[in-house]
Amino acid sequence: MAEAKRADLAAFLRTRRERITPEMVDLAPGPRRRTPGLRREEVAQLAGVGVTWYTWLEQGRPINASTQVLDAVARTLRLDNAEWQHLYRLAGHQAGVPAGDAVRVTPQIQEILDKLDPMPACLSNSRCDVLAWNSAYAVMAPDVVEAPEGERNTLWQSCVSSRLSDMLVNREQELPGVVAVFRGAYSRHADDPCWQGFVSRLCAASPEFARLWARQDVAEPGPREKIMKHERVGEMRFTTTVLHSPTPETRMVIYTPMDDATRHAIDRLLAET
């Protein structure tokens, strides 16, 4: 990597790090900070890389960074598509199509989600990570939005969280389809260690997922029927609609109530909140 590119890479990473607050990544603010944003050690911890290695990268030292490590840093710093490709070029790699899970949620996207209240809606990527949501989605699926960032994933919560599993009334019909759609997305990222690690962890944590994963079923995302039994308001029925985002492999998922009872249930939950 040329010296000028290393300097640009160092400056770019520093400015991206300084715009991410601890609250944005579920970290406590802690004592007073000398500079805005995250500390270097916090970025390293969230990205799963060594503190010394990340410090050297941000200092512009002559080290080699793999695409897998760059992807982990990009996810942590919430780089959008243009920034992700810029990071690759500065690090001496050819930019390609991003995995879709390094997405910065813009105020415009959040405003669209909020305008959809009282219909639950979220922004998700092809790995089923929930990136943003509105108030109705938060009261419908609190276990998802309150999960730590690495587990704020609808597939993970459906397979591992006993509470969410109990909520899905039509789980036996729904879950195989969800895993099949995930399998279709996985084929585009089979060489990505982040995807590989996610599948390995999920297989270890959920024998049910491991069994469905071994079936090799594949499906495209589309409208689905979800029946959920909430502990406070009872059964809720939704039809999901998937709207694809301009950002590669991200989508907005909208839950349309199928009956008046479900509409009243969401209104009640929102009023209680």
Residue 103 has pLDDT above 70, yes or no: no
Q: What is the mean pLDDT of residues 76-96?
A: 79
| Other residues' Cβ atoms within 10 Å of the Cβ of residue 62 | 9
Residue span(s) of the chain under CATH 3.30.450.180 come to 107-272
Over residues 170-211, the pLDDT tens digits come to 888 889 999 999 998 888 877 777 788 889 999 999 999 999
| Percentage of the chain lying above the pLDDT 90 cut | 40
- We find that the CATH architecture of domain 3-90 is Orthogonal Bundle (1.10)
Q: Which of 143, 148, 197 is nearest to 165 (CA)?
A: 143
pLDDT for position 99 = 47
Please state which CATH number belongs to domain 107-272.
3.30.450.180
Q: Which residue has the higher pLDDT, 62 or 272?
A: 272
**Model's pTM, two decimal places?**
0.66
Determine contact, residues 238/256, Cβ cutoff 8 Å: yes
Stretch 215-225: mean pLDDT, rounded? 87
pLDDT bracket for residue 94 (50, 70, 90): low
Q: HEC states along the chain? A: CCHHHHHHHHHHHHHHHHCCCHHHHCCCCCCCCCCCCCCHHHHHHHHCCCHHHHHHHHCCCCCCCCHHHHHHHHHHCCCCHHHHHHHHHHCCCCCCCCCCCCCCCCHHHHHHHHHCCCCCEEEEECCCEEEEECHHHHHHCHHHHCCCHHHCEHHHHHHHCHHHHHHECCHHHHHHHHHHHHHHHHCCCCCCHHHHHHHHHHHHHCHHHHHHHHCCCCCCCCCEEEEEEECCCEEEEEEEEEEECCCCCEEEEEEEECCHHHHHHHHHHHHHC
In the numeric block, which tokens belong to residue 245? Answer: 């985002």
Query: Quick one: pLDDT at residue 100?
Result: 44
pLDDT at 97 over 70: no
- The stretch 80-106 carries a mean pLDDT of 69
Name residue, tokens 């916090």. Answer: 42
Q: Stretch 96-116: mean pLDDT, rounded?
A: 74
Neighbours of 132 (CB within 10 A): 20
**pLDDT for 30:** 66
* 119-166 per-position pLDDT tens digit: 999 999 889 999 999 999 999 999 899 988 778 999 999 999 878 778
Region 43-64 average pLDDT: 87
- Which segments of the chain belong to CATH 1.10.260.40? 3-90
The confidence score (pLDDT) of residue 139 equals 95
More confident residue, 101 or 243: 243
What local confidence, expressed as pLDDT, does residue 263 receive? 97
- Report the amino acid identity of residue 76: T
Assign 87 a pLDDT band (cuts: 50, 70, 90): confident
How many other CB atoms sit within 10 Å of the CB of residue 273? 10
pLDDT at 4 over 50: yes
